[in-house]
Amino acid sequence: MKFKTLCRTYSKVEKISGKIEMVEILSETLCNANADEIGKIALLTLGKIYPNYVGIELMLAESMTIKALSITTGKSTSNIKQILEQKGDLGSITYKLLSKKTQTTLSSFTGETEYAPEILEVWSFFDKLAKLTGEGSSNKKINLLAGMLSRVSAIEAKYIVRIVSSKLRLGIATQLLLEALALAKTGNRDNKDILEKAYNRCSDIEYVAETLYKGGIEKVKEIDIRVFSPVKVMLAQRLSSSEEILEKFGEKCAVEYKYDGIRAQIHVKDNIVKIFSRNNENITYQFPDVQNEIIKAAKKQNFIVEGEIVAYDEKNNKILPFQSISRRKRKHDIEEKAQEIPVRVFLFDVLFANNCSTLNKLYLERRKLLKELVNETETIRFSHQTIVSSVDELETFFNSALEDNCEGIMVKSINQDSIYQAGARGWLWVKYKADYVDKLSDSFDLVIIGADYGKGKRTGKYGTFLLACFDTEEGNFKTFTRVATGFSDKDLDFFYQKLSNIKLNNKPKEVVSEIECSVWFEPKIVIEVTGAEITISQLHTCARGWLKGLNDGLALRFPRFTGRIVEDKNPEDATTVNEIVTIFLNQKGES
């Protein structure tokens, strides 16, 4: 397939917002793809070159892309920057400049009448771009990009620039792409559930798409866990009382400490260790100490375990708050930081062992297997856990967790349904935090989607942020609150800089909002917010249509930023509409 064909499809998708129509338009093009190229098409459609866990990035700053465009068009970099400040989208600027450009491109010198690369050829270009490293690599990347932009058509250049800028702006998330793939290859969009289950087990959209096109839906069903390919983590619901929890789990359940650290999936094979975050990013380089310790602790090889990495005060023998472990998230002085900030790893589950998946084993079986794979050491521990069957037992354990500087507890089913549901948020796991005990106080992981400029001391910065939750049913973001409190001057400076890279001129198509903002952002950054209570709102779109009044939504009153940026969560893993409705009903004393 020609890359231009895919770009024309992107252009059509970009102009519409309805999910059903987007799926149909995309699937029409995917129908014509072959098995050798469909994996790359899937990646590019999500604005990626590789799956997240591979850990290879294009490393092409916006200024470098502007220089490449300057070489291609003859426009000065200052002129392009000026236009960018007005228009806000380098891809659209590229399209406009190249559409007007006379035939003075590279093709006029080579004698080519038209250069129309295939999908695989364009992907190979991105691959080469990403792998250019070392001294002088920046200039090489600029020249390589300029050469490509000089040869392709304006519409191809538009999306090449957007991909290298990590701003594809199509509003196509993984769920929508899986549905389009199902419709294209099987004629039935409901087969998306089979594709999603496979994707949750391997986190590799390229592999799922290729398997579908080469072997059909039956082969997709056979996709299972592979070491060094992370599993989408299982997620928890929340409840606000011990009584509710015990009733939900049938009066008996397992409880574990909920540590305030980095959730990590640790893969071990042939003494090689890779560590992945909850959003599937490879964070191995951040924890050389954990790599060494897990090898020492391993009784066997070829396994995947899950745990929480926390900062630890060895002198006072206590767990440190999240802010301490977050300082380990750096690319320089790794060994120095490892000495400065020691860690403990508390393992709580096993996903793969003895050359097969353990997802369908029951919780207590997995817990037993975990102890057969790993010995406890000074650094590698098993999570604090016990079985409870009364409110007193649960509350005693909960209070112990708080005394040990934990956030609260995780409550897990020990019934016959207690499998590991990769990528799912079900009622087999429930989190119970200190915040939830008071029904007028809760914490939410929300996505920044817009902002208004501040006044007074906040002049020249953003003063108020519009935040959204995620609607899993519709695959979009719904507004839930505006927040202006809890931000230090340092926070405001940070967000002004951080958000400048994802600023948009118009509301993102995957956002449902009736509130206007001075500035819109791609929904990428997740922050933690607390609030006094959830109230009925005719302004916010969270849960609109779920309640008795069809125009009523839900909003968070008196929100406050906790100071925590939730870096290990994708936007789609933010607090959901369903969770918020559950909390609202519990707050009112309804079921």
Q: State residue 273's pLDDT score.
A: 97
Q: What is the C-alpha separation between 381 and 370, in angstroms, rounded?
A: 11
CA 577 centroid distance within chain: 17
Structure tokens of 447? Answer: 């996505």
E strand or H helix that includes residue 292: helix 288-297
Spatial separation of the C-alpha atoms in residues 259 and 383, rounded to whole Å: 9
What is this structure's pTM?
Answer: 0.86
Greatest alpha-carbon pair distance for the chain in Å reads: 82
Q: Residue range 189-216: average pLDDT?
A: 97
Tell me if residue 284 falls in helix, strand or coil.
Answer: helix
- DSSP 8-state assignment for residue 233: P
The yes-or-no verdict on residue 156 having pLDDT over 70 is yes
| Cβ neighbours for 535, distance < 8 A, ≥ 6 positions apart | 554, 555, 556, 557
Where b means 16+ CB within 10 Å and e means fewer, 388-423 reads beeeebbbebbeebeeeebbbbbbbbbeeebbbbbb
pLDDT in tens, 113-127: 578 999 999 999 999
- DSSP codes, 332-400: SSHHHHHHHS-EEEEEEEEEEETTEE-TTS-HHHHHHHHHHHB---SSEEEPPEEEE-SHHHHHHHHHH
Could you identify the residue written with the tokens 């606000």? 240
Q: How far is CA 534 from the centre of its chain?
A: 26
Answer yes or no: is pLDDT of 111 > 60. Answer: no
Token reading at 403: 């005394």
308 is in an annotated binding site: yes
Strand partners, 447: 468, 526
pLDDT > 50? residue 440: no
Which range has the worst mean pLDDT, 98-112, 379-393, 468-482, 531-545? 98-112
Fold of 48-164: DNA ligase i, domain 1 (1.10.3260)
Best CA proximity match to 406, nearest among 319, 527, 345, 342 = 319
Q: 588 falls in which pLDDT band (50, 70, 90)?
A: low
Q: Determine the Cα–Cα distance for residues 65 and 143; give it in Å rounded to an integer.
A: 10
- Indicate the length of the chain as a whole number: 591
- Burial environment of residue 355 by CB neighbours within 10 A (0 to 12, 13 to 18, 19 or more): exposed
pLDDT at 334: 86
Is-catalytic flag, 457?
A: no
DSSP state of 234: P
pLDDT single digits (tens) 380-401: 999 999 999 999 999 999 999 9
Q: Tell me what percent of the residues of the chain surpass a pLDDT of 90.
A: 75
Q: Which residues pair with 309 in a beta bridge?
A: 262, 345
Domain ranges of the chain: 48-164, 235-437, 442-588
Residue 348 marked as a ligand binder: yes
Instruction: Write out the two tokens for 499.
Output: 């958000």
Which CATH number applies to 235-437? Answer: 3.30.470.30
Encoding tokens for residue 108? 């006029």
For position 103, what pLDDT does the model report?
A: 44
Q: Average pLDDT of the chain?
A: 91
Q: How far apart are CA 172 and CA 86, in angstroms?
A: 25
Report how far apart, in Å, the C-alpha atoms of 53 and of each of 49, 274, 275, 278 are: 11, 10, 10, 11
Residue 266 pLDDT more than 80?
A: yes
Question: Is residue 187 predicted with pLDDT exceeding 50?
Answer: yes
Residue in the block written with tokens 């926390």:
310
324, 341 contact by CB (below 8 A): yes
Contact 439, 535 (CB under 8 A): no
Lookup result for tokens 């990428």: 524
In whole angstroms, give the CA distance from residue 569 to residue 564: 12
| pLDDT surpasses 50 at 106 | no
CA dihedral 204, 205, 206, 210 (to 10 degrees): 110
In the chain, the N- to C-terminal Cα span, in Å, equals: 53
Query: Any binding-site annotation on 367?
Result: no
Instruction: List C-alpha distances in Å: 239 to 86, 243, 407, 472, 503.
Output: 47, 10, 14, 19, 36
Give the span between the Cα atoms of 96 and 377, in whole angstroms. Answer: 61
Give the C-alpha separation, 227 to 224, whole Å.
10
Nearest residue to 66 (alpha-carbon basis) of 144, 133, 7, 146: 146
Domains 48-164 and 235-437 share a fold: no
Give residue 496's pLDDT band: very low, low, confident or very high (50, 70, 90): very high
Output the pLDDT for position 473. Answer: 84
Strands 303-313 and 318-319, sheet pairing: antiparallel
Domain 442-588 fold is OB fold (Dihydrolipoamide Acetyltransferase, E2P) (2.40.50)
At residue 47, does pLDDT exceed 60?
A: yes
Catalytic residue among 67, 197, 258, 274: 258
CA dist 6 and 118 (Å) reads 10
Residue 439 pLDDT: 46
Q: Any known ligand binding at 189?
A: no
CB crowding 203-232: b at 16 or more within 10 Å, else e = bbbbbbbbbbbeeebeebeebebbbebbbb
Predicted local confidence at residue 457, as pLDDT: 79
